[in-house]
Structure 1
Amino acid sequence: MSGGAMAEGAMPYTVTVRARRDVPQERQCLRCETLFWSEGFGERICRRRKGLNAWRNAVPDSSGSSRRR
């Protein structure tokens, strides 16, 4: 093995870099429009809505047809 080679199965050192706007801040829930503390821009549904059976069971809000074709 050369001096810079890694052992088999070893994980390389990686650094996770967040986007500039991916910061914890208060955001508006996409379901009920209330403000809540979000850990990043990927979190857009408040805990109250995520705690509902409809969210946990992935039940759609409306009985209308899907937009997908």
Structure 2
Amino acid sequence: MTNVTDSAITMKVREQLPASGLRSGRMRVSTDNGIVQLNGKAQSDTEKLTALNAVRTVEGVQSVVDGLEVEK
């Protein structure tokens, strides 16, 4: 496995979210030791799951911490 820096992971996640059809401006991304924290708003449970799954596909991501809130 390639050693990917946290900043590179964050950048790739920020690219992956819109590529998955999400409005990434509503989501904040931070990475520490390969653990990605995703915060912000999702419009639906489906959008939230799509975002979490998209993050998991990025090389170097060890785990994802879900801080997304679904707007009611």
TM-score between both structures, scaled by the size of structure 2: 0.23
The structure whose residues are more often strand, as a share, is 2
Please identify the structure whose Cα radius of gyration is greater: 1
TM-score between both structures, scaled by the size of structure 1: 0.23
For CA contacts below 8 A with separation 6 or more, give which structure has more relative contact order. 2
The structure whose residues are more often helix, as a share, is 2
